[in-house]
Amino acid sequence: MDGADPSSPRQPDRAGSERDRPQVISGHAKRVAALLAAVAAVSLLHVLTSPRHVLLHALYEYLYYAPIVAAAYWYGASGGLLTALAASLAYIPHIRTAWADNEAYTASQYAQVVAFHLLGGLVGLLMTSQKRLTARYRDAATTSDARHRDLQESQEHLRRAERLSALGEIAAGLAHELRNPLAGVRGALDIVTSRLQPATPEAEFARVATTELERLGRLLEEFLAYARPRPPRLQASALQPVVDRVTALLATEAERRHVQLVVDGSAPAVSLEIDTEQITQVVFNVVLNAIQASPDGGRVLIRHFAAGPFVVLSVDDEGCGIPVEHVSRIFEPFFTSKHRGTGLGLAVSQRIVGAHGGTIQVEPRVPTGTSIRVHLPLGTLHAESSYGPASAAHA
């Protein structure tokens, strides 16, 4: 701020921002390169596929939506429109050369080009509005005095709840727009695949398209699970069966990565009021993250124990740890350091644990590694109030 005291403690944060600027620029460059590569890949599919395969070309048109929506999410309306323009410039020459003698089909393809720009602009405007709302609340929080730290933390939780609400509205809109086209594309792809000969370029293209559609479907489901969580269905259950089930599910993944899963089953059996399906999802996300963070030959220790009014589930890995600058963002939606991660696993887990009246924390281990601790209350929690204001402080 212009009138800030040079000795203010905010100055180191500003210096830190200057140091982080090259990393931010590098991140933007990678994103732009990924978007352009996606557009080029879809365009290449059009060029390599014969115009006789109309269904495949119809599928490829919908694949353009992925980089357009991603650009709109990252960079707002301008990013969505620019990516839509890039897709149009790459696609229109193909329209004019491949289907010049079919005016009706050509007109439908130009309508698809218009749809590219409409989707990029609308999604970008929604995301810009949401980011402005987030920035407004963040700026308001930074003005709080350090002497009112408790109040500042409450405002942070309230701001996050508002941000999640806005994210839920966007998720609903995106789901409405993307679910039906994805289902249509998948149906068309299944028909096309059934008619293709194995070990042909067309069959390989169809396989790639199927893989990407499945990935988009998983991302959409995680998005909806985060934006529209259901209240927990509480029932008396012990935590150990949940841990045993998750370790059985992830045993193959741990073996593939040469990571040893160690379960400390010495804790006394304590009955909790939990939704076993949701807590299984939490434990699965946390243990999977630990496995993926562990080095070859590493070990993941899973244990739980009583601590006052809580039962604590602790998952410790021997990875390289979490950078200090990432710790405060680890539960933010879409924040991830993984190459193919969605950034929703821990965000969903935190929301589920908060709905149970508990908390989830990330702690560094010495000398290396990370410990994630899930605190679940021993007392009975009523499901009808689990998403009310009382649980917002844990979200």
- The CA distance from 167 to 228, in Å, is 10
Please state which of the ranges 37-51, 91-105, 330-344, 368-382 shows the lowest mean pLDDT. 330-344
What does the mean pLDDT of the chain come to? 77
Domain co-membership, 351 together with 367:
yes
Q: What pLDDT does residue 366 have?
A: 67
148: in domain: yes
Is residue 220's pLDDT more than 50? yes
Task: Find the mean pLDDT for residues 361-375.
Answer: 83
Is residue 1's pLDDT more than 60? no
Please state which of the ranges 69-73, 187-191, 355-359 shows the lowest mean pLDDT. 187-191
33: in domain: yes
5: in domain: no
Domain co-membership, 301 together with 335:
yes
Per cent of the chain over pLDDT 70 is 77
Task: Find the mean pLDDT for residues 133-146.
Answer: 73
Domain co-membership, 366 together with 255:
yes
Domain co-membership, 253 together with 173:
no
Domain co-membership, 272 together with 382:
yes
1: in domain: no
Which one is predicted more confidently, 152 or 260? 260
4: in domain: no
* Tens digit of each residue's pLDDT (9 = 90 or more) over 258-290: 999 998 877 777 788 888 888 988 998 899 988
**DSSP string over 249-318:** HHHHHHHHTT-EEEEETTSPP-EEEE-HHHHHHHHHHHHHHHHHHSPTT-EEEEEEEEETTEEEEEEE--
Domain termination residue (choose one: 210, 227, 244): 227
The residues, ordered by sequence, that sit 6+ positions from 125 with a Cβ below 8 Å of its Cβ are: 76, 77
* φ/ψ (deg, to 5) at 316: -110, 135
Q: What pLDDT does residue 376 have?
A: 92
Please state which of the ranges 19-28, 203-212, 286-295 shows the lowest mean pLDDT. 19-28
Residue 48: domain span: 11-227
Please state which of the ranges 67-71, 233-237, 337-341 shows the lowest mean pLDDT. 337-341
Domain termination residue (choose one: 197, 227, 257): 227
User: Do residues 351 and 387 lie in contact, with contact meaning Cβ atoms separated by under 8 Å?
Assistant: no
119: in domain: yes
Domain co-membership, 46 together with 87:
yes
Domain co-membership, 254 together with 194:
no
Domain co-membership, 47 together with 187:
yes
CATH of the domain at 276: 3.30.565.10
Domain co-membership, 219 together with 278:
no
Domain termination residue (choose one: 227, 257, 283): 227
Is residue 351's pLDDT more than 50? yes
3: in domain: no
Is residue 7's pLDDT more than 50? no
Domain co-membership, 382 together with 254:
yes
Domain co-membership, 210 together with 317:
no
Domain co-membership, 223 together with 240:
no
63: in domain: yes
Which one is predicted more confidently, 254 or 338? 254
Give the total number of structural domains in the chain.
Answer: 2
- Whole-prediction pTM value? 0.45
Task: Find the mean pLDDT for residues 213-226.
Answer: 72
Region of 258 please: left (phi>0), alpha (psi -120 to 50) or beta: left
